[in-house]
Amino acid sequence: MVWLNVRVECEKLADGMEIAEDVIDSSGRILLKAPQIVDASLRKVLGSRRIPSVVTRIWKEKESEELLSELRVEMASLCERHRYLKNDQRRMDSVKLFARAFALSKNTQLPPGESLCNE
């Protein structure tokens, strides 16, 4: 999952939403410093200042292909950083450990047979 910033109309704000960016009035003054959690009093302030919308932060699931692409990029970068180890077992141990941590944290792994480091 990742955080996304999304613009939401103030009348659609619900308690518990998080305002992710400072709220600025038409004169360029900061009315509200982010982050702030939305509640009834905050909605009232926004309404009285005629603020049409704010940027909120939400969680979004990443697509599996997007995660797999990220994993491949990170793996290539790690293999490059460890290139001085050549065929040393420490290189593969490090790469395998990273791949396992990525798989556990993001529930994504390389397809069977795809090598960890392309030589």
Q: What is the pLDDT of residue 2?
A: 63
- Same domain flag for 42 and 91: no
For residue 46, tell me if it sits in a domain: yes
Model confidence pLDDT, tens digit, residues 1-19: 567 788 999 999 999 999 9
Indicate whether 47 and 90 sit together in one domain. no
pTM of the model: 0.49
Q: Which residue has the higher pLDDT, 85 or 53?
A: 53
Q: What's the CA gap between 58 and 23, in Å, rounded?
A: 17
Let me know the angle formed at the C-alpha of 97 by 93 and 88, rounded to the nearest 5 degrees. 15
Q: Among 56-60, 61-65, 85-89, 90-94, which is the least confidently predicted range?
A: 61-65
Tell whether 114 is covered by a domain. Answer: no
Note whether 7 and 55 are same-domain residues: yes
Considering the domain architecture, whether residues 47 and 72 belong to the same structural domain is answered as no
What would the pLDDT profile of 23-65 be if each residue is shown by its tens digit?
988 888 898 899 999 999 999 989 888 889 999 988 766 677 7
The reply to whether 71 and 22 lie within a common domain is no
Q: Are residues 29 and 56 in the same domain?
A: yes
Q: Per the structure, how many domains does the chain have?
A: 2
Task: Tell me which residue range forms the domain holding 97.
Answer: 64-106
**Measured at the alpha carbon of residue 94, what is the angle toward residues 91 and 100, in degrees to the nearest 5?**
140
45 located within any domain: yes
Report whether pLDDT(119) > 60: no
